[in-house]
Amino acid sequence: MPTEECIRIPGERICRTDKGLVAGRGTYECNGQIYSSVAGMQLKSDKDGKVHIEVQREMKQNVLPEIGMIVTAKVTNVNPRQCKCAIISVETTSLSDPFRGVIRSEDVRSTERDKVEMYKCFKPGDVILARVLSLGDAQSYILTTAENELGVVIALSESGATMVPISWNEMQCPATYAKEYRKVAKVQSDHITQNG
């Protein structure tokens, strides 16, 4: 619960670290004191029994994908071993410029992971939900869709219409009724609000 709003600027001392206070986002700790590291509003929030002191900018936060976060990505390239994609948003924040991500064939689904055929799971242009598995190598983040809620959310058919999911691995074009294979995400309402 945010309370006590006031403007802080970088290098400004906020308080001492005792009394269960922890330096949160936008702050840093030095010699037992908490200092602000960005210009913004000071917030206090309770997290697992400790009071986190945060300084938040009103404008967009600089976000980076972290391990375990759900990201929205657009598929750019598919080959039998992996699928490359551009991460366009992290949780609820959309990124101003995309990060590269890669889904390896064994991370596409949790069952029969050795029998995955990449061309039956993703096609370039699909919008997918994925979880960050690791920060990966120097090139890209490694993503996974091995959960029911993760996978293709929006896909266009060959005729250009947005397809409708009909099962966990098939989508149908509303114009031509042609069926195409995808690793379909079972989108849940809380995910929808998150990515709304």
Partner 1 sequence: MAGMELLSDQGFRIDGRKPCELRRIQSKLGVFGKPDGSAYVEQGNTKVLAAVYGPHEPRGNIVKLQDKVVINCQFSMATFSTGERKRRPRGDRKSMELSMHLQQTFEAAIMTELYPQSQIDIYVEVLQSDGGNYCTSVNAATLALIDAGIPMKDYVCACSASYLDDTPMVDINYLEESSGGTELIVSILPKSEQIVFLSSNSRLHEDCLNKVLDMAIKGCKDVYLCLDETVREHMTQVSASFSAD
Paired tokens of 106: 């064994």
Q: Does 67 interact with partner 1 (rule: CB under 8 A)?
A: no
Q: Does 61 interact with partner 1 (rule: CB under 8 A)?
A: yes
CB 79 within 8 A of CB 102: no
Q: Does 96 interact with partner 1 (rule: CB under 8 A)?
A: yes
Residues 131-160 that bind partner 1 (CB under 8 A): 135, 138
Q: Which stretch binds partner 1 (CB under 8 A): 43-51, 57-65, 70-78, 164-172?
A: 57-65
Q: Which stretch binds partner 1 (CB under 8 A): 30-38, 113-121, 124-132, 162-170?
A: 30-38
The alpha-helical segments, DSSP class H, found in the chain are 189-195
Q: Does 32 interact with partner 1 (rule: CB under 8 A)?
A: no
Quick one: CA torsion of 161, 162, 166, 167, rounded to 10 degrees? 120
Q: Does 38 interact with partner 1 (rule: CB under 8 A)?
A: yes
CB 116 within 8 A of CB 151: no
Total residues at interface with partner 1 (CB under 8 A): 27
Instruction: Give the whole-angstrom CA distance, residue 13 versus residue 149.
Output: 44
